[in-house]
C-alpha cells in the first residue's frame, strides 16, 4: 500500500505542469504549420521518412491532438492561452480550419505545399507566429 501511495504521488502532475507541457507542444505545432520551408524539408526528405512530417499529420497534431475540438475561446477561459494569443491566432486558425487540400487529397504533400491558398495560410500563420514569439 505504501508503495502505491508513493507511486501515485510521484506520478501526479499539476494542472500548471500539464498546461506548460501542452503549451510547448502547441507552439511546436504552430511553428510546423507556419513554415513552408520546414514542411518542404521534412515531408519531401526521403532520408527522413516519417509520417509525422506530412500535411495530414501536421493538421491532426494541431487540431486533434492539441485542440481536441476546443476553440480558442474555451482555451482562453481555461488559461491555456491568453486573450492576446487568441486574438493573434484567430484569423490564421480560421483559415487553417477552412482549408481544403487540392482534389481533397491530404496525402499528396507537394500539391498542398505548392498550392497558393496554402501558401497564403502559411504566410498568415508566420506573421501570427512572429507576434506570438514577442509575447
Is residue 11 domain-resident? no
Tell which wins on pLDDT, 42 or 10: 42
Please give the pLDDT value at position 62. Answer: 96
Full-model pTM: 0.83
Work out the burial of residue 99: count CB atoms within 10 Å of its CB; fewer than 13 is exposed, 13-18 middle, 19 or more buried. middle
Q: Any residues with CB less than 8 A from the CB of 124 and at least 6 apart, and which?
A: 91, 92, 95
- For residue 48, the enclosing domain spans 16-133
Is residue 55 domain-resident? yes
Is residue 2 domain-resident? no
11, pLDDT greater than 80: no
Q: What is the pLDDT of residues 28-76, one digit of tens each?
A: 999 999 999 988 888 776 666 666 678 889 999 999 999 999 999 999 9
Is residue 68 domain-resident? yes
Q: How many domains does the chain have?
A: 1
Asked if residue 67 lies in contact with residue 96, where contact means CB atoms within 8 angstroms, the answer is no
Is residue 1 domain-resident? no
Per DSSP, the residues of 96-107 read HHH---GGG-TT
Q: What is the pLDDT of residues 111-134, one digit of tens each?
A: 898 999 999 999 999 999 999 999
Is residue 129 domain-resident? yes
Please give the pLDDT value at position 110. Answer: 84
Amino acid at each position: 500500500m505504501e508503495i502505491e501511495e508513493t507511486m501515485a504521488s510521484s506520478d501526479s502532475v499539476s494542472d500548471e505542469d500539464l498546461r506548460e507541457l501542452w503549451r510547448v507542444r502547441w507552439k511546436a505545432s504552430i511553428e510546423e504549420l507556419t513554415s513552408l520551408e520546414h514542411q518542404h524539408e521534412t515531408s519531401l526528405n526521403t532520408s527522413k521518412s516519417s509520417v509525422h512530417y506530412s500535411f495530414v499529420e501536421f493538421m491532426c497534431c494541431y487540431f486533434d491532438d492539441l485542440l481536441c475540438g476546443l476553440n480558442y475561446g474555451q482555451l482562453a477561459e481555461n488559461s491555456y492561452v491568453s486573450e492576446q494569443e487568441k486574438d493573434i491566432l484567430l484569423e490564421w486558425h480560421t483559415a487553417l480550419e477552412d482549408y481544403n487540400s487540392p482534389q481533397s487529397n491530404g496525402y499528396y504533400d507537394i500539391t498542398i505545399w505548392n498550392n497558393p491558398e496554402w501558401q497564403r495560410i502559411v504566410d498568415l500563420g508566420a506573421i501570427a507566429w512572429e507576434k506570438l514569439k514577442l509575447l
